[in-house]
Structure 1
């Protein structure tokens, strides 16, 4: 095959924790590549080199799939999966956390395998760990584009990440259900969300709660939390109290036991866990994922573009160098948290 007829292969992988909307990215990338190929073939003014068709390659199970050579062309089976996958959560190509990719020798092997498959560019959907891997691959000469896909919304370079909206709605629905049963029994309920070291899920879901605790400043110590709950119970005479907290802050089962012993009020702890990851992506996540997938392919088509991370900023998609995206400072959520706490009559000062 001559160089002008040789396809330009673009690979896509999903890495880290799965997030609703990842399948919509895959679908958008696949369909955009098809559309670009059709447009190029119809454009008689393009040179043979410019008409070189694009081809999507699917990498299973994240970076680990590169090392294991789980790299596939889009055959009829994959086409069918891509078509039906846009309404379901998870990722049809699988995902994995692959600690070995932090090692330079592992990344060099990955680059060699990508070259072996004729892959010229890589799109990766994931979070900060995924993007750190992309940065290292780009230093080895692989053209890369990162798309923020994580329910935690902890990618500073994007106002919102794919999967966040779906997970947020799942949490809000759970809070509503727990509030109903808590009202019926005059209970105190402690609900733990995901988020790792980012409180966005808890902060935005907390508008229907009485108290929220996140890793962000101000962090409420356990004894302070119990005193605030005691105050809510005795002074405001609430029929039920719902407290929302991000994971890794407290042992919520132990916290519930301590509150019950202190206040003599039935207290239950609920860890929402993996239910937050699953489910059909929301309309917003489907749209965001689709537009980011399209934008990623467009970035790879531009001549001279360096490796980049895509973000939604001020309702507009943008691309910035990976290193710039990774070095951005974390957002300060103090004002949002303090205003939500104030709704319950809690005035908390920055420490």
Structure 2
């Protein structure tokens, strides 16, 4: 393993740059060359390669986004696209590839691994929806962005005695909504893992009003419904003045938190170690603060919801 490649793919996540830095510095430490692939799998197909040295990744640990950029590629999903990607890697003398991204990115890495390209994955997605790891790069930063926004929204909700429905990201996983709701004392949390039951939301609002509560915060994961629809039904059923805030892509940006920077450093370094040890077809992860690896098949399975169920129940108990 004399020369390794690194790419970022899919949606950007704060901490991707820190992971790139860790991959490059760890490889250089072991006298291994590093090639950056620009624009994800699209760049891999087009042969967009960039030699990376230790200095190439200076002053990026604090930056959000990805210096390698990202793009989605439908062509890469085809047999012809995969074959071209393999040929470009071989022509560039790249002996192994590290892929940083979410489920789509890891699916691509698994496909390359099956075609004989040694691949190691690093989970990076704010949705935190990858199996085989407790946390993904970017989740903690996005969570803190949401919390900061809700703190501000609550000030206005209190001042004007309003109910707010705040929509956050999370198409298939409700971790962002669940953790933010628990951290910010939301009155109700709606996530895709549970069927949306607006009757229960109404009952909670009525209970709060009965004890003199004048404002409420409801957090909705995008995969659990539409914030305007939920707000409209609340106003129709209760008469409460209800407002909507959709946080959108602000959740993806910003300087990564210390937690995400350290996590990215650990993931990036371990990914290089695995390639140097001759491993392939695996994703690095963390469980109970201990580094571990999981086969791509496990990483791409639906995450266990045991911990989420406990947090969801706790949030209901604390929001009475």
TM-score class normalised by the smaller sequence: over 0.9
Q: Distance in 1 between matches of 2:238 and 2:281?
A: 56
Q: Distance in 2 between matches of 1:238 and 1:308?
A: 50
Kept in 1, the 8 Å contact 2:129–2:303? The answer is no
Alignment of 1:307 with 2:281, yes or no, is yes
Show the 5 A alignment for 1:198-217. 198-207=173-182, 208=184, 209-217=186-194
Alignment of 1:220 with 2:214, yes or no, is no
**Cα displacement (A) at 1:233:** 4.2
Kept in 2, the 8 Å contact 1:195–1:246? The answer is yes
Q: Distance in 2 between matches of 1:170 and 1:110?
A: 36
Q: Distance in 2 between matches of 1:230 and 1:336?
A: 20
Listed one character per residue, the Cα deviations across residues 188-236 of structure 1 (whole Å, up to 9, x for unaligned) are 000001011101111111122111010113x2234x2552354234323
Partner of 2:261: 286
Listed one character per residue, the Cα deviations across residues 298-317 of structure 1 (whole Å, up to 9, x for unaligned) are 111114x2321101011111
Q: Distance in 2 between matches of 1:88 and 1:232?
A: 44
Kept in 2, the 8 Å contact 1:29–1:297? The answer is yes
Alignment of 1:98 with 2:92, yes or no, is no
Q: What is the aligned length?
A: 317
TM-score for the superposition, normalised by structure 1: 0.86
Gaps of at least 5 residues in structure 1 are 1-6, 38-53, 346-351
Kept in 1, the 8 Å contact 2:130–2:303? The answer is no
Q: Distance in 2 between matches of 1:321 and 1:258?
A: 44
- 1:72 match: secondary structure: strand
CA RMSD of aligned residues (A): 1.7
Partner of 1:72: 50
Q: Distance in 1 between matches of 2:207 and 2:75?
A: 49
Kept in 2, the 8 Å contact 1:156–1:331? The answer is no
Partner of 1:55: 33
Match of 1:16 among 5, 10, 35: 10
Q: Distance in 2 between matches of 1:59 and 1:236?
A: 58
- 2:58 match: secondary structure: helix
- In structure 2, the CA distance between the partners of 1:155 and 1:180, relative to structure 1 (3 Å rule), is same
Partner of 2:159: 184
Kept in 1, the 8 Å contact 2:188–2:201? The answer is no
Partner of 1:30: 24
Gaps of at least 5 residues in structure 2 are none
Q: Distance in 2 between matches of 1:257 and 1:324?
A: 40
Match of 1:114 among 86, 89, 105: 89
Kept in 2, the 8 Å contact 1:192–1:246? The answer is yes
Q: Distance in 2 between matches of 1:167 and 1:328?
A: 21
Q: Distance in 1 between matches of 2:208 and 2:305?
A: 32
Kept in 2, the 8 Å contact 1:157–1:328? The answer is no
Q: Distance in 2 between matches of 1:178 and 1:130?
A: 34
**Structure 1 residue runs of 4+, over 4 Å off?**
none
Larger Rg: 1
**Cα displacement (A) at 1:339:** 1.8
Q: Distance in 2 between matches of 1:322 and 1:248?
A: 24
Q: Distance in 1 between matches of 2:63 and 2:303?
A: 33
**Cα displacement (A) at 1:322:** 1.6
Q: Distance in 2 between matches of 1:323 and 1:226?
A: 37
Partner of 1:47: none
Match of 1:331 among 285, 295, 305: 305
Listed one character per residue, the Cα deviations across residues 234-262 of structure 1 (whole Å, up to 9, x for unaligned) are 32321210000100322212322332233
**Cα displacement (A) at 1:9:** 1.5
